[in-house]
């Protein structure tokens, strides 16, 4: 949830940490702060976005060669100055930042209060920090050992960075359930929640594993487990360019990422799909194809936008592969004692690869003998590492909090996976298979054409920006697209929106319809089209405002709708990849028209690494 940055080395640390916090602000922007060593341990922190903290530090002496920084998404304690990180221990000797939740903090706090500890914040982080200091004092041990002892006793998720006033070179870090990347430079090290603050300085990184502690100095990186055994750092080379995490002339990251979709879809297909030869190469899927096809069912586990991608995949996999599919919210699945049999296939979908509920769910499933497939965007992420196989989406860094290009890349990977398995099983005809391969290969070009409607969609946004509610309707493959369209609008514009299967409209939602309610129909040509047209007529009979996403050449729907958005022709299985793009643009432009920060919508964070 929160963003963390650290630096130790010969450079000025504050500018590096500040820039890193700005790059990580999509992970949380309730408050931010830095701690550095400069004639003592100094902490500067402020409620609000990083720019507000930066402004508060102007004129202060921030010279230091070591610093840690934090941008917060609040869990324990409201967003304010005193709950902002870093926190200082009671003695003022140790500063710590933390991403995650300590579940048993209340009992630990009670014990510390009985010992005379006073707390200046409402956070679980300050409790953990004073717990570490108490262990250090009572056991007469160094900070590294105190952290190790403390982490054996706490319950929850964490990524922590600590610095001590008497050690001007060392950062102690540890993780469980929240990501940590360490960049390796020449006589310097960089620490962060993800690679975006690091890529400017080095492409050599180490992804820290759960239950590992890192002792980081300018010229030394030591990894140990909680048993104090040294671990060998595995150095990975980043496949990312600095330009990928900059706006590149766009007003917002969200708009940039929407417009990147022709390229990101192409990148997702590249090296995998050869439409002319009719081949799909996915080594992870190929290796486990026999086990997947022998499974009695496939369970798709995801959250949010990724859950919507899973719903589309359910339709596609059942149609093409004839394997039963269930789609589960990870947050529900992990708590309801689900029935998992050995040989079941668990397909986990996550943009970040760090989604806490999804990660715990697949860990449980793996213990019960399930085969784990991961569809993630971030290389080296926790879900990628725990999976038996899977595929990266290659969408590149997604900075905007509302997912756009990651969603369409997920749909592409899931469709290729289904086609690969169907061909292996023989449950699809060769002609149908080749047609879908060619249709899929044409998606980047069609997406490029579709984006030319941006000005038209911007005009629609101006027309409907003052609506209080929206209804999104679709059938079949387009029902999850309706859900995703509604979610985007809620996230970005704060307008209440609901997505429904179009046929379910008559079972309640139609009561909301009047001349003030915009109803968005995903009404492209498919096997349900005539039924959807009937649903449109039912809305118009009640004076609702209809915005219809239609297929090029449709002459019927435009006569019924108040406004239309035209999509290039595509097979109904391919169409969701295209149909969602104008809905992303509509949400974006409505948010901008309302004067909102579309890259950082209130109360949201990009990567949900807490339960």
> Looking at the annotation, which residues are catalytic?
2, 606
- DSSP character string of 326-337: EEEEHHHHTTS-
Phi, psi torsion values for 204, nearest 5 degrees = -95, 120
Phi, psi torsion values for 113, nearest 5 degrees = -60, -40
Q: Is there a contact between 519 and 544 (Cβ–Cβ < 8 Å)? A: yes
Q: Is 234 exposed, middle or buried (0-12, 13-18, 19+ CB in 10 A)?
A: exposed
Q: What is the Cα–Cα distance from 488 to 491, expressed in whole angstroms?
A: 5
Q: Could you tell me which residues come within 8 angstroms of residue 578 by beta carbon, excluding any fewer than 6 positions away?
A: 443, 446, 447, 450, 567, 568, 570
Q: What is the Cα–Cα distance from 281 to 284, expressed in whole angstroms?
A: 9
Give the CA dihedral 146, 150, 152, 157, nearest 10 degrees. Answer: -130
The residue with tokens 């006033």 is 165
Q: Is 298 helix (H, G, I), strand (E, B) or coil?
A: strand
Q: Is there a contact between 63 and 11 (Cβ–Cβ < 8 Å)? A: no
Q: Is 454 exposed, middle or buried (0-12, 13-18, 19+ CB in 10 A)?
A: middle
Q: Is there a contact between 505 and 521 (Cβ–Cβ < 8 Å)? A: no
Strand-pair category, 87-88 with 94-102: antiparallel
């Amino acid at each position: 949830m929160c963003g963390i940055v650290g630096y130790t080395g010969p450079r000025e640390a504050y500018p590096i940490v500040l820039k890193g916090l700005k790059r990580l602000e999509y992970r949380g922007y309730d408050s931010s702060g830095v701690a550095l060593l400069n004639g003592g341990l100094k902490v500067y922190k402020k409620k609000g976005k990083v720019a507000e903290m930066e402004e508060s530090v102007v004129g202060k002496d921030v010279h230091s060669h070591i610093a840690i920084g934090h941008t917060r998404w609040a869990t324990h304690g409201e967003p304010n100055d005193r709950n902002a990180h870093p926190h200082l221990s009671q003695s003022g000797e140790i500063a710590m930042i933390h991403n995650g939740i300590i579940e048993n903090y209340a009992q630990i706090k009670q014990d510390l209060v009985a010992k005379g500890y006073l707390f200046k914040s409402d956070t679980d982080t300050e409790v953990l920090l004073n717990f570490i200091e108490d262990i250090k004092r009572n056991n007469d041990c160094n900070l590294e050992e105190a952290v190790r002892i403390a982490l054996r006793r706490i319950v929850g998720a964490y990524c922590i960075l600590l610095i001590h006033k008497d050690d001007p070179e060392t950062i102690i870090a540890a993780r469980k359930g929240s990501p940590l990347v360490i960049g390796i430079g020449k006589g310097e090290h960089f620490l962060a929640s993800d690679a975006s603050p690091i890529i400017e300085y080095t492409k050599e990184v180490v992804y820290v594993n759960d239950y590992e502690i890192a002792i980081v100095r300018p010229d030394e990186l030591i990894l140990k487990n909680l048993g104090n055994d040294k671990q060998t750092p595995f150095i990975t080379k980043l496949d990312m360019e600095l330009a990928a995490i900059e706006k590149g002339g766009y007003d917002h990251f969200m708009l940039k990422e929407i417009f990147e979709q022709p390229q990101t879809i192409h990148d997702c297909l590249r090296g995998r799909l050869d439409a002319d030869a009719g081949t799909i190469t996915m080594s992870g899927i190929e290796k486990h194809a026999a086990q997947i096809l022998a499974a009695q069912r496939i369970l798709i586990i995801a959250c949010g936008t990724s859950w919507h991608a899973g719903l589309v995949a359910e339709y596609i996999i059942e149609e093409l592969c004839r394997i039963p599919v269930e789609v589960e919210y990870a947050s529900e699945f992990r708590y309801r004692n689900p029935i998992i049999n050995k040989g079941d296939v668990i397909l986990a979908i996550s943009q970040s690869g760090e989604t806490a509920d999804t990660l715990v769910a697949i860990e449980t499933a793996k213990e019960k003998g399930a085969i784990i497939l991961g569809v993630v965007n971030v290389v080296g992420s926790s879900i990628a590492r725990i999976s038996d196989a899977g595929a990266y989406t290659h969408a590149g860094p997604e900075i905007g909090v509302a997912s756009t290009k990651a969603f369409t890349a997920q749909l592409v990977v899931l469709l290729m996976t289904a086609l690969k398995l169907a061909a292996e099983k023989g449950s699809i005809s060769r002609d149908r298979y080749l047609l879908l391969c060619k249709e899929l290969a044409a998606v980047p070009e069609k997406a490029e054409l579709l984006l030319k409607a941006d000005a038209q969609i911007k005009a629609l946004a101006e027309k409907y920006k003052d609506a209080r509610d929206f209804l999104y309707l679709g059938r079949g493959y387009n029902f999850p697209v309706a859900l995703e369209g509604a979610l985007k609008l809620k996230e970005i514009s704060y307008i209440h929106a609901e997505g429904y299967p179009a046929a379910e409209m008559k079972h309640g939602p139609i009561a909301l319809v009047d001349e003030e309610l915009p109803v968005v129909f995903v009404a492209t040509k498919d096997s349900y089209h005539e039924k959807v047209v009937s649903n449109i007529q039912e809305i118009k009979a009640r004076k609702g405002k209809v915005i219809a996403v239609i297929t090029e050449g449709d002459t019927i729907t435009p006569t019924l709708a108040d406004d239309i958005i035209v999509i290039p022709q595509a097979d109904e299985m391919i169409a969701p990849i295209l149909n969602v793009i104008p809905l992303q643009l509509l949400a974006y432009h409505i948010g901008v028209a309302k004067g909102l920060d579309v890259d950082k919508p209130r109360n949201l964070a990009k990567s949900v690494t807490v339960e």
